[in-house]
């Protein structure tokens, strides 16, 4: 698709760009510290989408690579939206060889249900079986907490 490529090479990631977007633009992670983003990247399978050498988007997977995968921090920068890049990124994630044969995939989204449905995702069938421990304001409440 044009000049766009996708890579899982951590060395290519623009960590400052990822941190800036997640800490200032993403509704799910406002205020996230750089050290937390760096730790998340270090412990995830990362997908960067690039226009030449410029990063245009990102997604990451947390997984045991045997049974379950969590998809998170998916974004396309505003100036690159409307070009089909989120679909391109999702296709690459879903087809990655290390992520085949998993029993369960999970994600949280407030606004991209239509995108994920195109790749076989659906609402949780039995929400009464799921539990969570969630601190939505962790980055603002724990400003003194540093990784």
Domains of the chain as residue ranges with CATH: 4-141 (3.40.630.30)
pLDDT in tens, the chain (147 residues): 568 999 999 999 999 999 999 999 999 999 999 999 999 999 999 999 999 999 999 999 999 999 999 999 999 999 999 999 999 999 999 999 999 999 999 999 999 999 999 999 999 999 999 998 888 888 877 655 555
The reported pTM is 0.92
Cβ atoms within 10 Å, residue 140: 10
Please name the residues in contact with 62: beta carbons below 8 A apart, sequence gap of 6 or more.
43, 44, 45, 69, 70, 72
Coil vs helix vs strand at 124 = coil
The alpha carbon of 1 is separated from its chain's Cα centroid by a whole number of angstroms, namely: 21
For the stretch 2-34, what's the b/e string if a residue is b when 16 or more beta carbons lie within 10 angstroms of its beta carbon? eebbbebeeeebbeebbbebbbeeeeebeebbb
């Amino acid at each position: 698709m044009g000049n766009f490529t996708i890579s899982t090479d951590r060395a290519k990631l623009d960590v400052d760009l990822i941190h800036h977007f997640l800490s200032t633009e993403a509704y799910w992670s406002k205020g996230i510290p750089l050290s937390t983003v760096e730790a998340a990247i270090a412990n995830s399978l990362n997908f960067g989408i690039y226009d030449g050498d410029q990063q245009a988007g990102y997604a990451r997977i947390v997984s045991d690579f045997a049974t379950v995968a969590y998809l998170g921090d998916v974004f396309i920068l505003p100036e690159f939206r409307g070009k089909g890049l989120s679909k391109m990124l999702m296709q690459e994630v879903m087809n990655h060889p290390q992520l085949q044969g998993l029993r369960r995939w999970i994600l949280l989204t407030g606004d991209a249900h239509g995108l994920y449905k195109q790749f076989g995702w659906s609402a949780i069938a039995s929400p009464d079986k799921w539990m969570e421990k969630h601190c939505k304001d962790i980055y603002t409440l724990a400003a003194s907490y540093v990784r």
